[in-house]
Amino acid sequence: MLSSMLPYYLDLARRSFRRSPGLSVLMVLALGLGIGACMTTLSVYHGLAADPIPSKSARLLNVQLDAERRDGDYRPGAEPTLQLTRYDAEALLREKRGARQVMMTAGYVPLQPDDAKIKPFFSSARYASADFFPMFEAPFAFGGAWDAQTDAEAARVVVISHSLNERLFGGGDSRGRMVTAKGAPLRVIGVLKPWRPTPHYFDLTQGKYNKAADLYLPFQTAMQLKLGSSGNMNCWSDGNVPDRRGVNAPCAWLQYWVELASPAEVPAYRDYLRDYSKAQLEAGRFQRPPNARARPVMDWLSQQEVLPEDVKLQVWLAFGFLLVCLTNTVGLLLATALRRSGEIGVRRALGATRKDIFVQFLVEAGALGVAGGVLGLLLAWGGLWLVRLSPNNYAEVVQMDWPMLGLSLALSLAASLAAGLLPAWRAAGVTPALQLKTQ
C-alpha cells in the first residue's frame, strides 16, 4: 500500500517545499550541518579506532616482561617495562612457542644513492627477525622477505618500501640492485607495495600514527653493521652500561610480538611467559616476581590509550550539535504542519485516514532527510579536507570510505524521520470538521 502511494506522497512533499521554500531550505541546512559535523568526527574516529589487522588481531600478541631490578619505585603488579631486553627477546625467539614470533626495533640509516644527482639522506628503518612481513601482512610488489637462516648469518640484504624504491631507482622491480647504508652495500631482495598500518601498532615508540619504515634489514645484520637505533630505551644499572644494545645489557629496547594459531592458545602462552619469568627469577636475572603481559592487538591499543581523547570528545560534541539541529528541525516541521491545517482538513474530509496523514508527513520528513544527507556529505568531505590540513600526525590517514558513506545517508534519514514523528502525529490529529468550518 505504501509503495503504491509513495509517488503521490513525494509529489505532495515537492509541492509543500515549493510553497515554503524558506522553511524548507532552513530544515535542509539544519540537518546538513548536523550530519556534516557528525560524519566528519565519526570518520576520524572510524579511521583511528579501527582494527589495524582484523584477520588475526585476537591471536597477535604484544609481549612484556618485568625484567627491571627491584628498587624503591617497585610496586607489585604494576605495568611492566614497555619493551624487552635483547637477552629475553632472543631467548623467546629461539624457543618458538608461537606460529610466528618477531623481535625488532627502529632506526634511522644514512643512505648513499648511486645516482650522483641524489644527495645522501637518512631513511627510517626497521631491524626485524624473519617473521616480520608475514606476521604483519606487509604486501610485496616484487620479491619477498628473508628467512631465519639469512637473519642468523647477518646477510647483507634489504627490503625497501614503495616510496624509497621510487626515490632511489625510479620504481619498478629493483631486486638485485644495491643500497649503500652507512657505507655497507645491501642487496635488495624485495619491494613493498604502498603500506601504512593505522595506527602504527607494532611499534608505538615511533609515534602512534606515523608512517611505516622505508628500509627493512635483518636484525642481526643491523647489529653487525652497528646501525643506530631509535625509540625508547629503558636501562637499569648502578654503573655505566658500555654497550646498551648488547645481549647481556640491562636495557629494554626491543619490541616483541607473537602470532598464535588461534585465540584459544592465548592462556597457554601467558602461562609459558609466567614460567619463563619464574625461571629467570630463580636464575638471578629477574628480581621481581613473574609479571608478564601478552595482550592482543586491540587490548594493547586500548591499554596504551592510542585513540586521542580529543577525538572522542569531538564525537560527543558533534552528536550534541546534531541534537540541537534536530530540535530546530522539529520546530520548523511543526510550524509547517500547523500552517497546512486547512489542507489536512480537506484531505481528511475526502476520505484520508489519520494513518494516511501521518505517513504523508513522515515521507516529507524523509525527503528532507535525503536532501540534508547529501548536503551533510558535502560538508563532511569539506570537513575531512580541513582535518587533513591539520598538523596532527594522524590527519592524512583520515578519509570517507563506503561504510561511512552509507552510515551518513542512513543517519540522515533516521534523524529526519525521528524529527518528523511529532509533527506527523500532530498533523494526523487535526479535526477535519473544525478546519472546514473555518475555511
3-state SS class at 110: strand
In three-state form (DSSP H/G/I as H, E/B as E, the rest C), the secondary structure along 159-211 is: EECHHHHHHHHCCCCCCCCEEEECCEEEEEEEEECCCCCCCCCCCHHHCCCCC
- Determine, yes or no, domain membership for 61: no
Q: How far apart are CA 400 and CA 402, in angstroms?
A: 7
What is the model's pLDDT at position 149?
93
Classify burial at 213, counting beta carbons within 10 Å of its beta carbon; exposed 0-12, middle 13-18, buried 19 or more. Answer: buried
Q: Are residues 267 and 326 in the same domain?
A: no
Residue 114 pLDDT: 83
The span from the CA of 196 to the CA of 207, in Å, is: 13
Phi, psi for residue 188 in degrees, rounded to 5: -75, 120
In a domain, 195, yes or no: yes
Q: End of a domain among 242, 258, 291?
A: 291
Q: Indicate whether 235 and 91 sit together in one domain.
A: yes
Whether residue 302 lies inside any domain: the answer is no
357 and 408 in a single domain? The answer is: yes
User: What pLDDT does 3 receive?
Assistant: 56
Domain count, the chain: 2
- Residue by residue, DSSP assigns 364-404 as HHHHHHHHHHHHHHHHHHHHHHHHHTSS-TTGGG----HHH
336 falls within a domain? yes
Same domain, yes or no: 119 and 234: yes
Q: Are residues 85 and 46 in the same domain?
A: no
- 348/240 same-domain check: no
> Cβ(90)–Cβ(163) under 8 Å?
no
Q: Phi-psi category of 297—alpha, beta or left, where left has phi over 0 and alpha has psi -120 to 50?
A: alpha
58 domain residue, yes or no: no
Residue 299 is assigned to a structural domain of this protein: no
Name every residue whose Cβ is closer than 8 Å to that of residue 354 and which is 6 or more positions away in sequence: 348, 428, 429
Q: Of the residues 225, 258, 291, which one is the last residue of a structural domain? A: 291
Q: Are residues 154 and 210 in the same domain?
A: yes
pLDDT for res 241: 77
pLDDT at 224: 94
pTM for this prediction: 0.81
Looking at the fold, whether 217 and 162 belong to one and the same domain comes out as yes
Q: What is the pLDDT of residue 436?
A: 46
Q: Do 223 and 332 share a domain, yes or no?
A: no
Per-residue pLDDT, 72? 60
Q: CA 213, 215, 217: angle at the middle one, nearest 5? A: 115
Residue that finishes a domain, picked among 265, 291, 317: 291
pLDDT at 92: 97
Bridge partners (DSSP) of residue 102 are 257
- What local confidence, expressed as pLDDT, does residue 435 receive? 46
Each residue's pLDDT, cut to its tens digit, for the chain (439 residues) gives 455 676 766 777 777 777 777 788 888 888 889 888 888 888 888 878 889 999 999 999 999 999 887 776 777 878 898 999 999 999 999 999 999 999 999 999 999 988 878 899 999 999 999 999 999 999 999 999 999 999 999 999 999 999 999 999 999 999 999 999 999 999 999 999 999 998 999 999 988 888 999 999 999 999 999 998 998 898 887 667 778 899 999 999 999 999 999 999 999 999 999 999 999 999 989 988 999 999 999 999 999 988 877 788 888 888 898 888 888 888 888 887 777 777 777 777 767 788 888 888 888 888 888 888 888 888 888 888 888 777 776 767 777 777 777 877 788 778 888 888 888 787 777 665 454 445 5
Report pLDDT for 266: 96
Same domain, yes or no: 222 and 108: yes
In a domain, 175, yes or no: yes
274 and 131: one domain? yes
Residue numbers of the domain that contains 111: 66-291
Buried b / exposed e across 221-259, counting CB within 10 Å, b at 16+? Answer: bbbebebebebebeebeeeeeeeebeeebbbbbbbbbbb
Cα-to-chain-centroid distance, residue 161: 21
252 and 97 Cβ atoms separated by less than 8 Å: no
d(CA 412, CA 374) in angstroms, rounded, equals 9
Whether 190 and 322 share a structural domain: no
**372 occurs within a structural domain:** yes
CA 58 to chain centre: 16
Q: Which residues contact 393 (CB under 8 A, 6 or more apart)?
A: 207, 208, 209, 210
Count of alpha carbons within 13 angstroms of residue 226, beta-carbon side = 3
